[in-house]
Amino acid sequence: MALGIASLRAIARTRLDTRRNIDFAWRSLARSISSTAARGAVHRGPTLATASGIHAPKPATLSRINQPQSRSMFIQTETTPNDDSLKFIPGVPVMGEGTAEFLDTRSALPSPLAIRLMGIEGVKAVFYGPDFVTVSKDSENPWAVVKPEIYSILMEHFSAGLPLFRSQEDRDAAGPQDTKILDTDSETVAMIKELLETRVRPAIMEDGGDIEYRGFSEEGLVKVKLKGSCRGCDSSTVTLKSGIERMLMHYIPEVKGVEQVMDEEEVIALDEFAKLEQRLVEKEDKGDTKMAKYMSL
């Protein structure tokens, strides 16, 4: 009888353990299904945003304005004839129409992006084109150090869709008005402006620069100013004489030549640079003279 009771108790415990194992198995299966569904939801959502490199926000409704923030942005660079200038192409419109140039922090105040770029050590000029940004640096800072900071600032600005200027008034004032044909312009000046706008400017923008019309003298000289990567470029003289001057003289007989003009700040800077080069040459000559005397002894 005692044996029979022990057997019954063992059978009861076995059935109880079996029921517990079954319940545990069902709960584990339910958790597995729930976690799988959650992983699927995660894969369908944030994984794509993470793959793009930009974590998109979770708006209540999608709109065309918010869509660019969820896509990846690739900023390309192109070299220019000026070794100290690079053309950055973000793949989205920059100015759209017209150009703008910033040569110092004060002139860059209307544009938050230009202010940040000018804050990078070594950057001395920023130029906006229709779909590109040209950044010019000094010769002391290599591109290997400057370029990553430029990439970061441009990526942050354009991926967030931030405005290029603080106000529409600043935007309108920044664009060039030099080739706008006025009622007071003569037929010759109107033709010069038309050629600069339709033929010369697009070609120069391919190199990350721009040209600004500054006047037409009684002697038949067209005065222009080179901007962007063309500023201070060694091949700018060739561009003026072999390209612009030849074309204008071909189409407009009244044009006798093309002359590049510079701002007062540029003239001062060039004078100071010339003086510095002269001092370095004189210092080297003195060093060579002392060495010659030493060798003669």
- Spatial distance between the Cα atoms of 128 and 286, rounded to a whole number of angstroms: 46
Least reliable range by pLDDT among 44-53, 66-75, 92-101, 143-152: 44-53
Which of 88, 113, 134, 127 has its CA nearest to residue 212? Answer: 127
The one-letter amino acid at 1: M
CA distances from 6 to 11, 65, 82, 136 (A): 9, 77, 98, 93
CA distances from 40 to 47, 61, 74, 273 (A): 10, 22, 29, 64
DSSP state letter for 129 = -
CB 147 within 8 Å of CB 84: no
Q: What is the pLDDT of residues 240-265, one digit of tens each?
A: 777 888 889 999 999 998 888 876 55
Residues sharing a CB contact under 8 Å with residue 6, sequence separation 6 or more, in sequence order: none
- Spatial distance between the Cα atoms of 26 and 123, rounded to a whole number of angstroms: 66
For the chain, give the longest Cα–Cα distance.
134
Q: What is the pTM of this model?
A: 0.56
pLDDT greater at residue 256 or residue 25: 256
Arithmetic mean of pLDDT, 47-56: 36
Kindly report the number of other CB atoms within 10 A of residue 156's CB atom: 13
Question: H helices of the chain, where?
Answer: 2-44, 46-52, 112-118, 143-159, 168-174, 187-195, 201-205, 236-238, 246-251, 264-296
SS3 91: coil
CA distances from 200 to 144, 170, 209, 219, 222 (A): 32, 26, 11, 22, 13
Which of 107, 105, 127 has its CA nearest to residue 116? Answer: 105
Q: What is the pLDDT of residues 204-233, one digit of tens each?
A: 888 777 888 888 999 999 998 887 766 666
